[in-house]
Amino acid sequence: MLPDGRNRKDVSVGQKVKVVQKHHQRTGVLTTGFVARILTNSRTHPHGIKVRLESGIVGRVKEILEEEED
């Protein structure tokens, strides 16, 4: 099972993830993208590590996705 994004050590730049944006927290709408920058400084966060995706979207990691195998 993949880590769920609440530990900073499990999230890395370039990784494919699903995040929830602040205005989607109630609905739970997830956005998929690649991590450009990790914004959370603490080791863990109960709602997910905050990241900026390459698209510029900021959100908290809810799922870490496996890279598709070629």
In this prediction, residue 3 carries a pLDDT of: 83
Residue 1 placed within a domain: no
Residue 22 placed within a domain: yes
We report the CATH number of the domain holding residue 24 as 2.30.30
Question: Model confidence over 9-64: pLDDT tens digits?
Answer: 999 999 999 999 999 999 999 999 999 999 999 999 999 999 999 999 999 999 99
Residue 69 placed within a domain: no
Q: Name the pTM for this structure.
A: 0.90
Q: Spell 30-66 as b/e; 16+ CB within 10 A means b.
A: eeebebeebebeeeebeebbbbbbeeeeebbbbbbee
Residue 3 placed within a domain: no
Domain that holds residue 17: 8-64
- Whole-number Å distance between alpha carbons of 22 and 69: 31
| 18 within 8 A of 10, measured Cβ to Cβ | no
* DSSP state at residue 7: B
